Amino acid sequence: MSDASGTRASLLLRIRDATDQNAWRDFAALYAPLVQRFGRRAGLQDADAHDLTQQVLQAVSTAIHRLEYDPTKGSFRGWLYGVARRQLYKLREREGRQPRGSGDTDANLRLNELPAPDADDSDWWEAEYKKQRFLWATERVRGDFQPASWQAFWLTAVEGQSAAAVASMLGISVGAVYTAKSRVLDRIKQEIAALLDT
Protein backbone atom coordinates (compact mmCIF):
# COMPACT_ATOMS: atom_id res chain seq x y z
CA MET A 1 0.00 0.00 0.00
CA SER A 2 1.41 3.36 -0.97
CA ASP A 3 1.50 6.29 1.41
CA ALA A 4 2.60 8.67 -1.31
CA SER A 5 2.32 12.14 0.13
CA GLY A 6 0.50 13.70 -2.81
CA THR A 7 -2.46 11.36 -2.48
CA ARG A 8 -3.10 12.46 1.09
CA ALA A 9 -3.93 16.03 0.14
CA SER A 10 -7.68 15.52 -0.18
CA LEU A 11 -8.58 15.08 3.52
CA LEU A 12 -6.34 18.08 4.11
CA LEU A 13 -8.23 20.03 1.46
CA ARG A 14 -11.44 19.16 3.22
CA ILE A 15 -10.24 20.39 6.62
CA ARG A 16 -9.30 23.73 5.09
CA ASP A 17 -13.01 24.31 4.81
CA ALA A 18 -13.82 25.52 8.32
CA THR A 19 -17.51 24.69 7.81
CA ASP A 20 -16.86 21.03 6.99
CA GLN A 21 -17.48 19.57 10.44
CA ASN A 22 -17.30 15.99 9.17
CA ALA A 23 -13.80 16.55 7.83
CA TRP A 24 -12.61 17.83 11.21
CA ARG A 25 -14.29 15.01 13.04
CA ASP A 26 -12.70 12.40 10.74
CA PHE A 27 -9.40 14.15 11.08
CA ALA A 28 -9.51 14.40 14.87
CA ALA A 29 -10.73 10.81 15.29
CA LEU A 30 -7.69 9.65 13.37
CA TYR A 31 -4.92 11.93 14.62
CA ALA A 32 -5.90 13.11 18.11
CA PRO A 33 -5.37 9.69 19.77
CA LEU A 34 -1.97 9.50 18.11
CA VAL A 35 -0.88 12.88 19.52
CA GLN A 36 -2.35 11.96 22.92
CA ARG A 37 -0.24 8.81 23.04
CA PHE A 38 2.79 10.78 21.88
CA GLY A 39 2.31 13.12 24.84
CA ARG A 40 1.88 10.26 27.28
CA ARG A 41 4.99 8.59 25.90
CA ALA A 42 6.90 11.83 26.47
CA GLY A 43 5.95 11.57 30.15
CA LEU A 44 2.94 13.91 30.32
CA GLN A 45 -0.03 13.25 32.59
CA ASP A 46 -3.35 12.47 30.86
CA ALA A 47 -4.65 16.02 31.27
CA ASP A 48 -1.42 17.59 29.98
CA ALA A 49 -1.36 15.22 27.02
CA HIS A 50 -4.94 16.30 26.34
CA ASP A 51 -3.85 19.98 26.36
CA LEU A 52 -1.01 19.12 24.03
CA THR A 53 -3.46 17.41 21.67
CA GLN A 54 -5.75 20.45 21.61
CA GLN A 55 -2.78 22.73 20.90
CA VAL A 56 -1.56 20.52 18.09
CA LEU A 57 -5.03 20.46 16.52
CA GLN A 58 -5.20 24.24 16.89
CA ALA A 59 -1.79 24.59 15.27
CA VAL A 60 -2.83 22.29 12.43
CA SER A 61 -5.99 24.31 11.89
CA THR A 62 -3.97 27.53 11.60
CA ALA A 63 -1.19 25.99 9.54
CA ILE A 64 -3.63 24.35 7.13
CA HIS A 65 -5.12 27.74 6.23
CA ARG A 66 -1.68 29.23 5.75
CA LEU A 67 -0.74 26.25 3.54
CA GLU A 68 2.28 25.53 5.71
CA TYR A 69 2.08 21.86 4.96
CA ASP A 70 3.58 21.09 1.55
CA PRO A 71 2.60 17.63 0.30
CA THR A 72 5.55 17.57 -2.09
CA LYS A 73 7.96 17.67 0.87
CA GLY A 74 6.76 14.55 2.66
CA SER A 75 3.86 12.76 4.28
CA PHE A 76 1.29 14.59 6.37
CA ARG A 77 1.93 12.41 9.40
CA GLY A 78 5.63 13.25 9.15
CA TRP A 79 4.76 16.93 9.15
CA LEU A 80 2.34 16.42 12.05
CA TYR A 81 5.10 14.71 14.01
CA GLY A 82 7.13 17.91 13.72
CA VAL A 83 4.16 20.01 14.87
CA ALA A 84 3.62 17.70 17.87
CA ARG A 85 7.28 17.94 18.85
CA ARG A 86 7.29 21.74 18.63
CA GLN A 87 4.10 21.98 20.71
CA LEU A 88 5.60 19.65 23.31
CA TYR A 89 8.64 21.89 23.48
CA LYS A 90 6.44 24.97 23.97
CA LEU A 91 4.45 23.25 26.69
CA ARG A 92 7.63 22.37 28.58
CA GLU A 93 8.98 25.85 28.09
CA ARG A 94 5.83 27.31 29.69
CA GLU A 95 6.18 24.89 32.59
CA GLY A 96 9.81 25.92 32.93
CA ARG A 97 8.83 29.59 33.30
CA GLN A 98 6.56 28.94 36.27
CA PRO A 99 8.11 30.54 39.38
CA ARG A 100 10.07 27.91 41.22
CA GLY A 101 11.65 28.21 44.64
CA SER A 102 15.13 27.06 43.90
CA GLY A 103 15.78 28.26 40.38
CA ASP A 104 17.51 24.95 40.11
CA THR A 105 19.23 24.96 36.74
CA ASP A 106 19.28 21.20 36.48
CA ALA A 107 15.54 21.02 37.03
CA ASN A 108 14.93 23.61 34.30
CA LEU A 109 17.20 21.76 31.95
CA ARG A 110 15.28 18.58 32.58
CA LEU A 111 11.97 20.31 32.01
CA ASN A 112 13.15 21.74 28.72
CA GLU A 113 14.57 18.51 27.55
CA LEU A 114 13.12 17.37 24.25
CA PRO A 115 12.56 13.76 23.47
CA ALA A 116 15.66 12.62 21.63
CA PRO A 117 15.04 13.04 17.90
CA ASP A 118 16.44 9.63 17.15
CA ALA A 119 15.24 7.13 14.60
CA ASP A 120 13.51 5.11 17.30
CA ASP A 121 11.07 7.95 17.94
CA SER A 122 9.95 8.41 14.37
CA ASP A 123 9.73 4.63 14.00
CA TRP A 124 7.47 4.61 17.06
CA TRP A 125 5.32 7.36 15.53
CA GLU A 126 5.04 5.48 12.25
CA ALA A 127 4.10 2.18 13.89
CA GLU A 128 1.64 3.90 16.22
CA TYR A 129 0.08 5.74 13.29
CA LYS A 130 -0.53 2.50 11.43
CA LYS A 131 -2.21 0.93 14.45
CA GLN A 132 -4.32 4.04 15.02
CA ARG A 133 -5.30 4.20 11.34
CA PHE A 134 -6.38 0.56 11.53
CA LEU A 135 -8.55 1.20 14.61
CA TRP A 136 -9.99 4.33 13.00
CA ALA A 137 -10.92 2.36 9.89
CA THR A 138 -12.47 -0.49 11.94
CA GLU A 139 -14.74 2.00 13.72
CA ARG A 140 -15.88 3.36 10.37
CA VAL A 141 -16.80 0.00 8.84
CA ARG A 142 -18.10 -1.86 11.92
CA GLY A 143 -21.71 -0.83 11.35
CA ASP A 144 -21.71 -2.46 7.90
CA PHE A 145 -21.38 -5.99 9.32
CA GLN A 146 -23.50 -8.42 11.31
CA PRO A 147 -22.22 -9.05 14.86
CA ALA A 148 -21.19 -12.65 14.04
CA SER A 149 -19.13 -11.50 11.03
CA TRP A 150 -17.54 -8.81 13.13
CA GLN A 151 -16.65 -11.24 15.89
CA ALA A 152 -15.20 -13.69 13.36
CA PHE A 153 -12.96 -10.93 12.05
CA TRP A 154 -11.95 -9.46 15.42
CA LEU A 155 -11.21 -12.75 17.17
CA THR A 156 -9.09 -14.15 14.32
CA ALA A 157 -7.40 -11.14 12.69
CA VAL A 158 -6.92 -8.96 15.78
CA GLU A 159 -6.82 -11.40 18.69
CA GLY A 160 -5.04 -14.12 16.72
CA GLN A 161 -7.38 -16.96 17.68
CA SER A 162 -7.58 -19.92 15.33
CA ALA A 163 -10.36 -20.03 12.75
CA ALA A 164 -11.42 -23.45 14.05
CA ALA A 165 -11.81 -22.21 17.66
CA VAL A 166 -13.75 -19.13 16.55
CA ALA A 167 -15.95 -21.22 14.25
CA SER A 168 -16.98 -23.48 17.12
CA MET A 169 -17.47 -20.51 19.46
CA LEU A 170 -19.77 -18.75 16.99
CA GLY A 171 -21.41 -21.92 15.69
CA ILE A 172 -20.45 -21.28 12.06
CA SER A 173 -18.14 -23.10 9.62
CA VAL A 174 -14.42 -22.44 9.22
CA GLY A 175 -15.10 -21.32 5.65
CA ALA A 176 -17.66 -18.80 6.94
CA VAL A 177 -15.07 -17.47 9.44
CA TYR A 178 -12.54 -16.92 6.65
CA THR A 179 -15.18 -15.33 4.44
CA ALA A 180 -16.29 -12.91 7.17
CA LYS A 181 -12.73 -12.08 8.25
CA SER A 182 -11.70 -11.38 4.67
CA ARG A 183 -14.73 -9.25 3.86
CA VAL A 184 -14.08 -7.02 6.88
CA LEU A 185 -10.37 -6.77 6.03
CA ASP A 186 -11.28 -5.84 2.47
CA ARG A 187 -13.54 -3.02 3.69
CA ILE A 188 -10.85 -1.77 6.08
CA LYS A 189 -8.33 -1.78 3.25
CA GLN A 190 -10.73 0.26 1.12
CA GLU A 191 -11.38 2.70 3.97
CA ILE A 192 -7.65 3.27 4.38
CA ALA A 193 -7.24 3.68 0.63
CA ALA A 194 -10.06 6.22 0.58
CA LEU A 195 -8.35 8.16 3.33
CA LEU A 196 -5.34 8.50 1.08
CA ASP A 197 -7.00 9.58 -2.10
CA THR A 198 -10.57 10.75 -1.78
Q: Give the interface with another protein as residue ranges (CB under 8 A).
A: 1, 25, 28-29, 32-33, 36-37, 39-41, 46, 49-50, 53, 127, 130-131, 134-136, 139-140, 142-143, 147-148, 150-151, 154, 157-160, 163, 165, 168-171, 173-176, 178-179, 181-183, 185-186, 188-189, 192
User: Mapping DSSP to helix (H, G, I), strand (E, B) and coil, where does residue 16 land?
Assistant: helix
Sign of CA dihedral 43, 45, 50, 56: negative
Contacts of 58 (CB under 8 A, 6+ apart): none
CB closer to another protein out of 47 and 67 = 47
Q: Which is nearer to another protein, 92 or 191 (CB)?
A: 191
Q: In angstroms, give the least distance from the CB of 99 to another protein.
A: 28
CB of 136 to another protein, least distance (A): 8
The distance of closest approach from Cβ of residue 189 to another protein in the complex, given in angstroms and rounded to an integer, is: 5
Using the minimum distance from each CB to another protein, give the nearer residue, 61 or 108.
61
Rg of the chain over CA atoms, in angstroms?
21
How far CA 196 is from CA of 11, 27, 102, 122, in Å, comes to 8, 12, 51, 20
State which residue, 12 or 172, has the beta carbon closest to another protein. Answer: 172
Tell me how far, at minimum, the Cβ of 187 lies from another protein, in Å: 9
Kindly give the interhelix angle for 174-197 and 163-170, rounded to the nearest 10 degrees.
Answer: 110
Residues 6+ apart with CB under 8 A from 97: none
Identity of the residue, 111 or 176, whose beta carbon is nearer to another protein in the bound complex: 176
Shortest spacing between CB 37 and another protein, in angstroms: 5
Q: Which residues contact 145 (CB under 8 A, 6 or more apart)?
A: 153, 180, 183, 184, 187
